[in-house]
């Protein structure tokens, strides 16, 4: 008796939650669409960054985004072979074009500026030495882009968040999809701060980049979609530079563990034969 009643009650409760969730979801989607998923070279078990794409992405950052956004990563990481893979000389030359404040004063006790070296962090935009200065001029402080790709997320909902963890279906590129969506989401030409994908649609950043803004030297078409893809990939690398090495080590670890587990299983079977 109790068993039947409880099952019915449990079923009713689950159905109620599911129905209300679906209704809310349908309405939400129309008003606040989710960022569409893009193809990334670094997704999946074997995906790694595309060096050329990262170099183009850095070019986009340098020519467009660095006006307002900081990117607090050391210059030397730009020479990372698993990342943009610039040469050491290129990085040294690039760093020297920036001025940074020296940590220690000189012998006269004066704080002085000097050309940056690869060990230094890429300096903040000169106009905005801190968040308060940026907010005063721009309305809202543009976030530092070093971890931006990891700091962005959107609701996946049930059951998608379960599938996102499974081998073959894993989804770690939410940040990259979000960045691409924002950059391509300025769909109202008369309102430069209206963004289709930003929650609430009103974004403090006016459209930063349009077709043809950056001159690509490797022949890639200078379209907004490409800029968005390249900067999103570059920022993913900036947030997660270990990805290539991580997956490389991961493959060896997984193979080892599968072989090891199999051997242990066979050993266990053999040992336990003696019991029965």
Partner 1 sequence: MSGPSTYVPKSAIGRWFESRLPLMGLVHSSFIAYPVPRNLNYMWTFGAILSFMLVAQIVTGVVLAMHYIPSATEAFSSVNDGIMRDVNYGWMIRYMHSNGASLFFLAGYIHMFRGLYYGSFKPPREVLWIIGVIIYFLMMATAFMGYVLPWGSMSFAGATVITNLTSAIPLVGNSIAHWLWGGFAVGGPTLNRFFSLHYLLPFIIAAFVGLHIWALHVAGQNNPDGVEVKDVERDTVAFTPYATIKDVFGLSVFLILYAWLVFYIPNYLLDADNSNIANPLATPAHVVPEWYLLPFYAMLRAIPNKLMGVIVLFSAIVVLAVIPWLDRSPVKSAKYRPAYRFFFWVFVLICIGLGYLGSQEPTEGLALIARIFTFGYFAFFLIIMPVLSFTEKTRPIPTSIADAVLTKTKTAAVTAG
Binding residues for partner 1, per CB under 8 A?
3, 6, 10, 13, 16-17, 20, 45, 72-74, 77, 143, 146-147, 150-153, 158, 164-165, 167, 170, 172, 174-175, 239-242, 246-247, 249-250, 253-254, 257-258, 260-261, 264-265, 267-268, 271-272, 275-276
Nearer to partner 1, 80 or 230 (CB): 80
Nearer to partner 1, 88 or 164 (CB): 164
Nearer to partner 1, 179 or 209 (CB): 179
Q: What's the CA gap between 27 and 31, in Å, rounded?
A: 7
Q: How far is the CB of 164 from partner 1 (least distance, A)?
A: 7
- DSSP-derived letter for residue 78 is G
Token pair of 208 as six digits = 């930063």
Nearer to partner 1, 111 or 257 (CB): 257
Nearer to partner 1, 29 or 164 (CB): 164
Q: How far is the CB of 254 from partner 1 (least distance, A)?
A: 6
Q: What's the CA gap between 187 and 171, in Å, rounded?
A: 27
Contact indicator for 124, 131 with CB cutoff of 8 Å: no
Number of DSSP helices (H) and strands (E) in the chain, helices first: 9, 2
In this structure, the number of other CB atoms found within 10 A of the CB of residue 243 comes to 18
Q: How far is the CB of 63 from partner 1 (least distance, A)?
A: 24
Q: How far is the CB of 51 from partner 1 (least distance, A)?
A: 19
Q: How far is the CB of 33 from partner 1 (least distance, A)?
A: 18
Nearer to partner 1, 111 or 264 (CB): 264
Round to the nearest angstrom and report the end-to-end CA distance of the chain: 43
Q: How far is the CB of 253 from partner 1 (least distance, A)?
A: 5
Q: How far is the CB of 221 from partner 1 (least distance, A)?
A: 31
Give the bridge partners for 74, in sequence order: 121
Token pair of 256 as six digits = 């080892």
Nearer to partner 1, 213 or 253 (CB): 253
Contact indicator for 209, 7 with CB cutoff of 8 Å: no
Q: What's the CA gap between 235 and 149, in Å, rounded?
A: 6
Q: CB neighbours of 151 closer than 8 A, spacing ≥ 6?
A: 143, 175, 239
Q: Quick one: three-class SS letters along 231-254? A: HHHHHHHHHCCCHHHHHHHHHHHH
Q: What's the CA gap between 272 and 177, in Å, rounded?
A: 51
Q: How far is the CB of 6 from partner 1 (least distance, A)?
A: 7
Nearer to partner 1, 147 or 224 (CB): 147
């Amino acid at each position: 008796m109790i068993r039947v009643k409880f099952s019915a009650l449990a079923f009713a409760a689950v159905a109620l939650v599911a129905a209300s969730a679906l209704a809310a979801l349908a309405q939400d989607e129309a008003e606040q669409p989710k960022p569409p998923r893009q193809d990334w070279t670094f997704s999946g078990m074997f995906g790694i960054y595309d060096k050329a794409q990262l170099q183009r992405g850095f070019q986009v950052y340098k020519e467009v985004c660095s006006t307002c956004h900081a990117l607090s990563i050391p210059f030397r990481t730009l020479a990372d072979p698993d990342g943009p893979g610039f040469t050491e000389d290129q990085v040294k030359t690039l760093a020297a074009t920036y001025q940074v404040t020296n940590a220690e004063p000189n012998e006269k006790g004066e704080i002085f500026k000097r050309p940056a070296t690869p060990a230094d962090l890429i300096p903040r935009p000169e106009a905005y030495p801190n968040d308060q200065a940026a907010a005063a001029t721009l309305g809202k402080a543009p976030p530092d882009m070093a971890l931006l790709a990891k700091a962005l997320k959107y609701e996946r909902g049930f059951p998608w968040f379960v599938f996102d963890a499974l081998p073959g279906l894993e989804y770690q590129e939410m940040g990259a999809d979000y960045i691409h969506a924002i950059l391509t989401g300025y769909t109202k030409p008369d309102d430069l701060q209206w963004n289709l994908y930003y929650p609430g649609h009103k974004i403090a950043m006016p459209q930063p980049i349009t077709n043809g803004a950056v001159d690509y030297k490797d022949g890639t078409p200078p379209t907004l979609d490409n800029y968005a893809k390249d900067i999103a990939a570059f920022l993913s690398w900036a947030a997660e530079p270990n990805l290539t090495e991580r997956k490389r080590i991961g493959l060896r670890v997984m193979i080892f563990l599968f072989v090891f587990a199999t051997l242990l299983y066979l050993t266990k079977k053999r040992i336990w034969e003696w019991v029965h």
